Amino acid sequence: MRIALCVKKDIHGLLAARILAERLGFATLRFFCSVKTRDAENAVPALKIMKLLERDVAMDTFAALESRFGRLPHPDEWTPLLDLKADGGARALLDFRPDLVISARFSLIFPQRVIDAVPRGIINVHPGALPGYRGLFAPFWQILKREPVLGCTVHMVDRGIDTGPILGIARVPLDTSRSLMAHTAALYHGGVAIAAEAAASIAAGNTPAGTPQPEGGNYYRFPAPADFAALPVPIVTAQDFAETLSAAFPPRAGTQPVRWSAAA
């Protein structure tokens, strides 16, 4: 089976890619990544900080310094997709002839022609409980609404946005002692694991029994500065950033800690 893995080139996309590379060893994989920066990410101070840490520091600096990623191709080898136009990104994706596509933290919308061209469908990992939290920045909005339990929904992609049949939901309790970054990482970790299980089932010849979403729901966009001011948790802490980095960049086998001693 040929599986195209579509992620975002940031720290959460790297974590998702690493999990999928480890769990989908039965398939031929190719990694694609979205690299788009929306205007709001440079206009809203909190979003600018998140971009700095999740992409500029994690990927453009730390990932660039790494030479090996185990089973995972180096992020510089992922195929960047600027769009999904017929003569652009869609062609690059479909030239791989994927039997299945898994999308996790991917920031482009799949057009119908791409959906129709993938024989076993497209699985999307959406870090929000559906149908209540469709759209952008779902972890943020769930925390802002003080949901006691946050959801990450794994669903098949159809012609709508975050509307397809649900394959499973990973759940993460709200912990106000932890940051937005920590909750986001936990949501993707659980959701990607469900997507990997679904992919393995499809590879074995099964057709996942998705559950249709109920009517209604809400669609969210990027938060404004006032929304960030009302958030009951920090967007990131040093400890949570270090923990997320550790998950995305685990130690190599056999790596020994640096030993040091105080000067006499």
Q: Indicate whether 139 belongs to any domain.
A: yes
In angstroms, the CA 82 to CA 36 distance is 6
Instruction: Look at residue 33 and tell me whether its pLDDT is greater than 90.
Output: yes
CA atoms lying within 13 Å on the CB side of residue 137: 22
In angstroms, the CA 47 to CA 155 distance is 27
Number of separate domains in the chain: 1
Per-residue pLDDT, 261:
64
Q: Indicate whether 263 belongs to any domain.
A: no
User: Which tokens belong to 247?
Assistant: 């998950």
Report percent pLDDT > 90 for the chain. Answer: 87
Beta pairing partners, 123: 102, 156
For residue 131, what pLDDT band results from cuts at 50, 70 and 90?
Answer: very high
Instruction: Look at residue 181 and tell me whether its pLDDT is greater than 60.
Output: yes
Report percent pLDDT > 70 for the chain. Answer: 96
Q: Indicate whether 143 belongs to any domain.
A: yes
Q: Indicate whether 253 belongs to any domain.
A: no
- Which residues span the domain enclosing 196? 2-241
Q: Indicate whether 255 belongs to any domain.
A: no
Per-residue pLDDT, 250:
85
- CATH number of domain containing 151: 3.40.50.170
For residue 67, what pLDDT band results from cuts at 50, 70 and 90?
Answer: confident
For 37-43, what is the mean pLDDT? 86
Q: Indicate whether 250 belongs to any domain.
A: no
Q: Indicate whether 10 belongs to any domain.
A: yes
Per-residue pLDDT, 76:
95
Instruction: Look at residue 17 and tell me whether its pLDDT is greater than 60.
Output: yes
Q: Which of 116-120, 160-164, 206-210, 234-238 has the lowest mean pLDDT?
A: 206-210
- By CB neighbour count within 10 A (0-12 exposed, 13-18 middle, 19+ buried), where does 134 fall? buried
Q: Indicate whether 248 belongs to any domain.
A: no
